[in-house]
A = this chain, B = another copy of it.
Amino acid sequence: MIETQTFPPPGGSPPHPPELTDENLDRVFFALSDPVRRAILARLGGGRFLVSELAEPFDISVQAVSRHIQVLVRAGLVQQERTGRISRCRLEVGPIYAAAVWINQYSEYWQAQFDSLADWLGKIEARKPTPGKTGKRTRTTPTKTGEER
């Protein structure tokens, strides 16, 4: 049996990028796996927003967006500051940074095939829009009862 491995962050070092525990990675990657949540993060890249403001672009209820935000909060990707009846949300990039660290474990494998990330990022810099927005919810993970057999 493979044992749990927590991949500790380096000694004293920067502020505090979250630890790369399995649980943290689960929550972060899961939070990123939904287009609505990614769109919310993209909005939050531009500053702070109320829940109602974040909900406005979507066709779903405010309650549904509120729960998406809670998923982001549990993943550490969003922090909420409650003042009175309003709740202002802001982006917290630490977990994204942690995810980047995890992903870059595989950079050695793609270096053979692709440009270094920096190179490709440099190439797309020119046409770079604001971070990814999204559209309708179209369930993307196929149904369990197989379709390609």
A residues apposed to B, CB below 8 Å? 1-5, 7, 9-10, 13-15, 17, 20, 22-23, 25-27, 29-30, 32-35, 38-39, 41, 45, 57-59, 71, 74, 91, 93-94, 96-97, 99-107, 109-110, 113-115, 117-118, 120-121, 123-124, 127-129, 131-136, 138, 140-142
Report whether B35 and A33 are in contact in the complex, using a CB–CB cutoff of 8 Å: no
Copies assembled = 2
> Nearest chain B CB to A142's CB is how many angstroms away?
7
Known: A35-B26, A100-B117, A141-B26. A94 touches B110 (CB 8 A): yes
Chain B residues near A5 (CB-CB < 8 A): 129, 132-135
Report how far A71 CA is from B30 CA in the complex, Å.
14
Report how far A7 CA is from B114 CA in the complex, Å.
18
Known: A100-B104, A103-B100, A120-B10. A113 touches B15 (CB 8 A): yes
Report whether B25 and A109 are in contact in the complex, using a CB–CB cutoff of 8 Å: no
Chain B residues near A91 (CB-CB < 8 A): 106, 109
Report whether A3 and B103 are in contact in the complex, using a CB–CB cutoff of 8 Å: no
Report whether B121 and A104 are in contact in the complex, using a CB–CB cutoff of 8 Å: yes
